[in-house]
Amino acid sequence: MTDHEESAGVLRGPLAGSAPPTAGDGTAPGERLQKVLARIGIGSRRAVEELIVAGKVRVNGEVASLGRRVDAEADLIEVNGAAVGTAPGLVYRLLNKPSGVVSTARDPEGRPTVVALVPSEPRVVPVGRLDTDTEGLLLLTNDGTLHHRLTHPSFGVDKEYLAEVEGEPTRQALHRLRKGVELEDGATAPAQASLLAPNLLRLVIHEGRNRQVRRMCEAVGHPVRRLVRVRIGPLADGRLAPGKWRDLSASEVRALERAVGS
């Protein structure tokens, strides 16, 4: 699995590293900032106004004033340090990926893809990847800013996995996982590791190396038989059936943005 590789596709919204145009002053064209933030679920109009007055909202890096007008498609808006997606048409879809489906927009070998499991419009791409034989939660979006932050290793968003392994891991094996395992591409960061059943591991990591969980388990002598991702940062859904998807709620999107805000 690798969560730092971006899949092929076009991402809409302000991309990381771009220089969005200035929104101008309160008389510039566009919508009032408090209206935009209330519409996308940051809070009520009054609550949003209080955030702006308290200096907790920035537009293109500048502290915003009440009544400022913004371009929701181009301006970079941050609340409490977290960039929020405001462009019209941004969607966030949570998929429970089945085994045998590849985490790309297209596959030259003709295998089924995660993109084919969600509506084709608006176009979305997977955030990071799960191995073809790995199951579980995968986010797909057209929000370029959030995609970048969730896949970039510096933001360190936790991912939780359940791994059915060969044999019963010992205390020593768990200690190695918690301390960090030496792999061919270097030592891993410490993981949260616990034994839920004789051959069932719970692992939480924040890196996104290729097939990392599988390689970690194999390195401590317990190859993986089945691997399922059950959480991405604040996102979890034990009722979402394999192959099914749903849109994130506004509060879930805000929680993701808070998770990558610092």
The H-or-E segment that residue 213 falls in is helix 212-219
Token pair of 106, please?
A: 């297209």
Contact 257, 146 (CB under 8 A): yes
The H-or-E segment that residue 59 falls in is strand 57-59
What is the DSSP code string of 132-194?
TT-EEEEEEE-BHHHHHHHHSGGG---EEEEEEESS---HHHHHHHHH--EETTEEPPP-EEE
- From the candidates 3, 131, 143, 185, which is the catalytic residue? 131
Is 131 tagged catalytic? Answer: yes
Contact 185, 49 (CB under 8 A): no
Closest CA to 23 of 65, 88, 75, 58: 75
**Bridge partners for 227 per DSSP:** 163
What is the DSSP code string of 2-28?
-SSSPPSS--BSPPTT--PPP--STTS
Q: Active-site residue numbers?
A: 131
